[in-house]
Amino acid sequence: MNIITDFLLGGWAKQLLFASVLTILLAVIAYIIGFIVAFIFTIAKLFNFRIVNFICNIYTTIFRGIPELLVIFFLFYAFSDISREANAIFSVNIDSSIISFIAAAIALGLISGSYLTEVFKGGLSAINSGQIDAAKALAMSELTIVFRIIFPQLISYTWHPVINIWLSTIKDTSLVAVIGISELMFKSNLGVTTTGQPFVFYGFATILYLSMMVLSNLGFKRLSYKYNYLLKISR
């Protein structure tokens, strides 16, 4: 019992809670970046931009094919190289912790973006092309077709995979501990190496991760009740 009271009163619990806020922040930023990337590639697919589609295929193959750890390492070293060059040429000195945070956010964003792109592409192919022809015949503009015909259906077709990608983005944030972002995983590792109590720290981290999962599941459930009319389209 002594270990647990020490853990709670010694400030470790508070630190881990703050670290989990950083985890959530990182996941949200990454998810938004992922959505932007996926949005661009989906639009490109919709309007058949050949070159962008080609880039998109390479991007999703590579980012879904190589381990997340390698992507994070790669962006980390690339960004630190760029900042070093920038420092040498323009003599702008950016703090290295900011660089690694940006690298982590972009890495996680590109990873979730590659999965989101594939999901949206799959959703697009599920939409009957006759509907788009019909919309064109009714003289709808292209933007109207996108926002009135395609997007509502896309949301309903891709609802569940998109939730899954959010959950896996939260889990992937644990990997950026390897480049020294002080999020939940990093802090619990720190705690274990300083106190030598793996069960207490990793147990607490497990509870925190699980509660994030449960809370986001509840949130998505609420959303799906609210936008029930949208989700019914696919059925």
Q: Binding segment for another protein among 7-15, 141-149, 204-212, 224-232 (CB under 8 A)?
A: 204-212
Smallest separation, CB 177 to another protein (Å): 7
Q: Does 4 bind another protein (CB under 8 A)?
A: no
Pick out residues in 21-60 that bind another protein (CB under 8 A). none
Per-residue binding string, another protein, 100-139, x by CB under 8 A, is ----------------------------------------
- Please report the DSSP string for the chain in residue order: -HHHHHHHHTTHHHHHHHHHHHHHHHHHHHHHHHHHHHHHHHHHHHTT-HHHHHHHHHHHHHHHHS-HHHHHHHHHHHHHHHHHHHHHHH-----HHHHHHHHHHHHHHHHHHHHHHHHHHHHHHHS-HHHHHHHHHTT--HHHIIIIIIHHHHHHHHHHHHHHHHHHHHHHGGGGGGGT--SHHHHHHHHHHHH--HHHHHHHHHHHHHHHHHHHHHHHHHHHHHTHHHHGGG-
Q: Minimum distance from CB of 189 to another protein (Å)?
A: 7
Task: Figure out which of the listed residues 192, 223, 230, 234 binds another protein, where binding follows CB under 8 A.
Answer: 192
By CB under 8 A, is residue 69 in contact with another protein?
yes
Q: Which candidate, 153, 229, 166, 178, places its Cα nearest to that of 76?
A: 178
Site string for another protein, 151-170 (x = CB under 8 A): -------------------x
Out of 206, 215, 218, 221, the only residue in the binding site for another protein (CB under 8 A) is 206
| Binder among 3, 17, 47, 61 for another protein (CB under 8 A) | 61
Q: Which residues bind another protein (CB under 8 A)?
A: 61-62, 64-70, 73-74, 77, 170-175, 177-178, 185, 188-189, 192, 198-199, 202-203, 205-206, 209-210, 213-214
